[in-house]
Structure formats: C-alpha cells, structure tokens
Amino acid sequence: MNTDIKEEILRLRAELDHHNKRYYVDNSPEISDAEYDGMMRRLENLEQEHPEYDDPYSPTRRVGSDITKGFTQASHIYPMLSLSNTYSIEEVDAWVRRTDEGLAGHETEIVGEMKFDGTGISLIYEKGRLVRAVTRGDGEKGDVVTDNVMTIRSIPLQLTGSGWPDFFEIRGEIVLPWKEFERLNAERAFNEEPLFANPRNAAAGTLKLQNSAEVARRGLDAYLYYLLGEDLPYDNHYDNMMAAREWGFKVSDAMTRLNSIAEIDSYINYWDTARRELPVATDGLVFKVNNLRQQLNLGFRAKSPRWAIAYKFQAERALTRLRYVSFDVGRMGNITPVANLEPVLLSGTIVKRASLHNEDIIKALDIHEGDMLYVEKGGEIIPKITGVDTSAREMAARPIEFVSHCPACGAPLVRVEGEAAWVCPDKYNCPPQIIGRIEHFVGRRMMDIDGIGEETAKMLYERGLVRSIADLYDLRVEDLENFEGFGRKSAERVMDGIRQSRQIPFDRVLFALSIPYVGETTAKKIARSVRSVDKLMSLGREALESIEDVGPRIAESILDFFASESNRSIIERLKIAGVQMELPEEEGGQKSDRLAGKTIVISGVFSLHSRDQYKDMIERNGGKNSGSISKKTDFVLAGDNMGPAKLEKARSLGIPVINEEDFLKMIE
C-alpha cells in the first residue's frame, strides 16, 4: 500500500511540475484549472497523511514561475503566494466557519472581490511615483517589467490626492479587455500567426515583450486589489483599497464588504451571471478577511494565506436557438458547417456563430432545425456547440443535412478518404478558394504584402483585377486608389509591399503558393533540399518522398499541384515578375553532415541563440528535430528551466542531455 501511495505522490509531483511550466512559463496550459486544482488538492492531502514522503521541492511548496530570460529579476518584499481554490459555494461557507473558529469567535468581516483572469503584478511606489513593476514569477522573485507597465494607462505613474505612504506596494492583475483581445486575434488571423488562446495568455505574453511600443499598442488594462506596507492609512483591506482608488488606482466596483454567509452566497450567485457583462475576462471571485490584524493572526499555509480563498466559476455555458446552418468554403476547398445562432452574451462578447467542424459532429450531436443549442466559450477563442436541449425540439424539426454540392460554385463535393472532411474539387474556378489563396499569399509569414486583407482580396477578385496570385504583380496605384477605404497613400503602400515581396526568400514563396499539406516547416525543408522551383517540378514521386517529412500524401499533393497547367502558368508569371523561385547558392544545402541520422529534442530557455536558430542549425547539419523524447532520441539540447518531466524521461531512458556550449562545439 505504501509503495502505491509513494508512486502516486511522485507521479502527481511530476505532472504538476509539467503543468506549472506549461501554465506559467510557456503560457500554454494543457489542462483546465479545475483539473490542475484537483491534482494539487490530492497531492496536498497525500503529503499531509504521509509526512515520511516530504520533499522540499514538491509543487505544494512553491508556486509556478513566469520568469523570462532577458529581463532583470527582483525579489518580492512580501512573497506573492497563490490562493486556495474551490468550485463549491459550500466550501466557501465552510472556509468562513473555519475562519470564525480560528479567530476565537471574534466578529469577522469578509471582503468579496472579482478574480480577474490575467497575469499578476507587483507595483512599488516611492513618494507617490511608480519606481518598479515586477511579475509574480515564482512567488519569491519575478521579472522587472517597469518599462512595459508604464505604457498601461490605467496604472498611475504619479499618484493624485493625498495620504499615501512614502513607500508601499500594491498588487493587481494585468488584463487584456475582450475588445482588444478580439482585435489582436483578428490581426493575427489575417497574418496567419498563431492565435492567442485566451486574454490571460495574451496579457502574459504581451507583458514580456521586449518592445514597449508594441506593449502600448496592445491595449493592456489593470485592476489593483491589495495594498501592502508599514504605514498604510487604515487597519483594514477595504478602506485601504478605497483610499488607493482616490490616489488614482483602478479598483473594481465589485469589491464589497460582506457580513454573513448569506450575503456571501448571494454575492456569488449575483456575479455568476453579472460577470458576463464585464469588459474583461474573469474566472472567479476572491474572499478575504477584511481586518489586517486578523489576517496576521490567521497566518499562512505553505503556499497560500489562510485568510483568503478563491471561488472559481464553472466554464460559461449558454442556451440559444439555432437559426440556420451555413457552409463556408476554405482556400483548400474544405467545407465547414457553421451554426448561425440567436445572439447570446458569452464571456463578455456577443456570440452569433459557432463552427460545427464537419458532418460527423453534426450527426454525433444530432442537431435538428431550430434546436436549442448549448454553447460554451470558457475563455477560448472560438465558441463551441457542446450539446442539444432535445426537450425543446419541435416535433416536425428535420435533421440538419450536410450539403452535397459546393455552396459557392455548385460543384459536387468529394469526401476525403479517411477523414471527416468534404471538399470542393473545383480549385481553379471556385471564388472562395481563389480569394482565400490570394489572402494567404499576401500574409505576413508568406509574402508580407501590407494593406490587402480579406475584404480587399474579395474586392480585387470581384472587380476582375486579381483572379490569381500572379495578377497581384500587374496591379497599379490607379487600380487601387478608388477602392472604398483606399486613397493614394494606402494604394502606394500596397504597391510598395508588392515591390518588396520580390525579395522574399524561396522557402516562404513555396509556403505562399497554397500547395495542400505543405505548411511553413515542410516548405522550408523542401526548399533547402531542391533549391529551386524548376527542380521541384521535375521530381517524381520517389524523389519527393526521399525529402525529409515528405510522405506519400504530401508527395501526391505536390505532383497534383504542378500537374495543373493553371499552376504552371502562375509559376512562370511569378518568375517573370521577379519573385524568388530558388535559393541563393550560399543558402542552399546543408552546412555539414555532423548530425546526420541523429534525432534531437530541444527544451528550455537559451541565451546564445533562439530555439528557432538551434532548430535551423540541427537541420542544416543533417539532424532531425523532434518535439518529444523517445528511445529514438539521440540527445537533448537543454537550456535553462528544462521541464522536469522531460529531464526525468531523458534520465530514465539514458539519453544524454547537453548544454548550448557543448552543442556549438559539436557542430563548430
């Protein structure tokens, strides 16, 4: 029995260490907060029941870290601990009773406040001026991000009013409002950059940018929630925060004094609904003992104060009626069903549409015309349909049928073998596919032609000016300046982008061509292998499959693409226009074969080169990059803060772990 308990403790520690890094360092969580909290609570209970397995490095003894190399670190004057979480009103009530007992029956006033879903910050003020801003980091120290924080207009640089101490610390949450989040993701979608998963990740990532001008452009906001210092104006939390509001700090109107369990329960029930109308993301409420002396008497656990608790909201879910299902056509011809809904407020935004992904999902959900559908958002980018209220279904309602012909051009659809996707096969006459390829071609990671978005690409196509990507190089300023929203300057900006695109390297041109299944990484490997589009067009199936990462499906797709006379004509026109269709001699091929046949995993944060640069070095010296450690891994190139789970796996498999310096010596 004890062996099983020890194994479970070790497993939980390893998993929590992994998820700490994904959440705090990578800003890319893999599990929900509820799952994480459940694992942490289980580990805390096991460690309390079995102190013989105590470990000072256990996740229960520390908080996660968001420290980033490249920033100066500073120690916190007071540790920035996390809060105990609960998803149950009953557990909040139980906490209140325990608190009353811990204070020997003294009258306990509780302050309820909103738990904003952002990234924690500590602000230090001296003589009324902001002197330092530090991220939460590992709770003991964090990154100094003062220059970036000074761009946030809701954070005062010089205090107003009077009565503030000469020196104090105030803590809060840096957030990205829904409006700014959607604007940023629209920009990133247009440029085909990875979208932010939620406002929290976007806020955390923005705060760590090295360019404070870009931070200012992103539109961060801040809510402050706790004042610390030796000479505070009041002996209680609420009055101190009201004073801070007078000094110029943004303090949430949701902050309220509560004097009974009934008031606390009512507060939870109210904000569980009302929060949906807030302009920023929230994921719960926080309850704190108001009196500062009582806070000191209650003290702390290993990683959280006893005088506060966080109540987490369940993922937001709404019930709304399906108006109709439309079918969108993507640039590769994939047909995506979309549920068009009666507008419903969800996570601070009005939701009118939600992707149904494919025919199989429609059938699995058993969606009928006019159904009442459950929609969830939970801070994610895209609302999703999670269920149907069949009790509200009308008797005569018919099941939703997937279309048999392309809604744009009328061509009979084709089912992709082994997949749930239906595709329009008429690639060269279907307007949405052509417009999609134009929009893809001009994107930032492809040809980087500024000023042409979805609407402009559609307008160019509909007016007959651009019917293929090659037509872009025949455009003139006069063709554009009379477009709606265009003037002479914006037209000249587009033409400048087109001129500069002639210098874009061949691997990005190859990605821009929209060859099915040839993504950014694959295009780079193909370009380095074949070095020119002429060579690529001359290769047969076997030669194509010999290129790294090019399997039978990609090889077939490349052959089909260049078998089209239309595509060959576009390639010739791009050549004539001066677009780069080969790699310069000095950039082609490998540097060496020193890493030939070796599979290498990169993990951690590096100081001498970026991760992408190391990946490039590995490929150009004959090696292969891999994202996960297995028996086939030859060695791990490790920087600082390598994930403990990866390190443990490498050790268990006997795989060497080398640092930057040793790697660079290896390839010289």
Each as own residue / partner, the long-range contacts of residues 584-592 (CB below 8 Å, 24 or more positions apart, any chain) are 587/505, 588/528, 588/531, 589/528, 589/531, 590/528, 590/619, 590/620, 590/621, 590/622, 591/617, 591/620, 591/621, 591/667, 592/620, 592/621, 592/622, 592/667
410/198 Cα distance (integer angstroms): 37
Three-class DSSP category at 629: coil
289/238 Cα distance (integer angstroms): 10
Is residue 339 within 8 Å of residue 356, measured between CB atoms?
Answer: yes
Strand partners, 135: 121
477/153 Cα distance (integer angstroms): 39
- Tell me which H or E stretch contains 95: helix 89-102
Question: Three-state secondary structure along 150-199?
Answer: CCCCCCCCECCCCCCCCEEEEEEEEECCHHHHHHHHHHHHHCCCCCCCCH
What spatial distance separates the first Cα and last Cα of the chain, rounded to whole Å? 53
Other residues' Cβ atoms within 10 Å of the Cβ of residue 130: 18
520/505 Cα distance (integer angstroms): 12
Say which residue the tokens 């929209």 belong to: 514
Strand partners, 328: 336
Roughly what angle, to the nearest 10 degrees, separates helices 552-563 and 565-576?
A: 80
Beta-strand relationship, 335-346 and 414-415 = unpaired
DSSP structure class, residue 127? T
Output the CA–CA distances (angstroms, integers) from residue 172 to 36, 120, 131, in the order listed.
23, 6, 16
- Tell me which H or E stretch contains 386: strand 384-388
Which of 570, 503, 566 lies closest to 533 in space, CA to CA? Answer: 570
- Region of 68 on the Ramachandran plot (φ > 0 left; ψ -120 to 50 alpha; else beta): beta
Output the CA–CA distances (angstroms, integers) from residue 496 to 262, 470, 475, 499, 513, in the order listed.
65, 16, 11, 5, 20
Active-site amino acid positions: 115
Q: Check the CA dihedral 573-574-576-582 and report its sign.
A: negative
Distance of CA 129 to the CA centre of its chain: 33
Phi, psi for residue 154 in degrees, rounded to 5: -85, 0
